[in-house]
Amino acid sequence: MSRPRSDWQRVAALVVCVAAAVAFGGCGARETRAGKASVEGVLLVGNGAEPQELDPHLVSGVPEHRVLSALFEGLVDLDPATLEPIPGTAERWTVSPDGLVYTFYLRDGAQWSNGDPVTAQDFLYAWERILTPTLASEYASMLHCVANARAFNTGEIKDFSQVGVKALDDSTIEVRLEQPTPYFLSLHVHYTWYPVPRKVIEALGGMTARNTKWTQPEHMVSNGAFKLAQWEPDKVIRVEKNPHYWNAAAVRLQGIAFYPIEDAMTEDRTFRTGGLHLTENVPLPKIEMYQKEQFPFLHIDPYLGTYYYRINTTEPPFDDARVRRAFALSLDRDTLVAQVVNAGRQPAAHYVPPDTGGYTSNARMPYDVEQARRLLAEAGYPGGQGFPKVELLYNTSDDHKRIAEAVQQMWNQALGVEVQLLNQDWKVYLNSMNTLNYDIARSGWIGDYSDPYNFLECFLSGNGNNRTGYASDQYDRLVRKGASIMYKTGRLATYQQAEDILLADAPIIPVYFYTRPYLLSPDVKNWQPNHLGYISWKTLYVEPPPEQAR
Query: Using CA of residue 349, residue 351, residue 354, residue 360, what is the dihedral sign?
Result: negative
Domains of the chain, first to last: 7-48+225-279+520-549 (3.40.190.10), 62-212 (3.90.76.10), 302-515 (3.10.105.10)
Provide the pLDDT confidence category of residue 548 given band limits of 50, 70 and 90.
low
Query: Using CA of residue 202, residue 207, residue 209, residue 212, what is the dihedral sign?
Result: positive
Tens digit of each residue's pLDDT (9 = 90 or more) over 39-50: 999 999 999 999
Supply the DSSP string of 136-185, one letter for each residue. Answer: --TTGGGGTTBTTHHHHHTTS---GGGSSEEEEETTEEEEEBSS--TTHH
CA-CA distance, 114 to 111, in Å (whole number)? 8
Give the pLDDT confidence score for residue 550 in this predicted structure.
52
Is residue 4's pLDDT more than 70? no
Mean pLDDT within 164-187: 96
Long-range contacts formed by 406-409: CB under 8 A, 24+ apart: 406/336, 406/339, 406/340, 407/309, 407/331, 407/336, 407/511
Mean pLDDT within 417-427: 96
Is residue 545's pLDDT more than 90? no
Is the bond preceding residue 317 a cis peptide, omega within 30 degrees? Answer: yes
Tens digit of each residue's pLDDT (9 = 90 or more) over 327-357: 999 999 999 999 999 889 999 999 999 999 9
Mean pLDDT within 224-239: 98
Residue 180 CA, distance from chain mean position: 25
Give the pLDDT confidence score for residue 342 in this predicted structure.
87
* Lowest-confidence pick of 6-15, 43-52, 188-197: 6-15
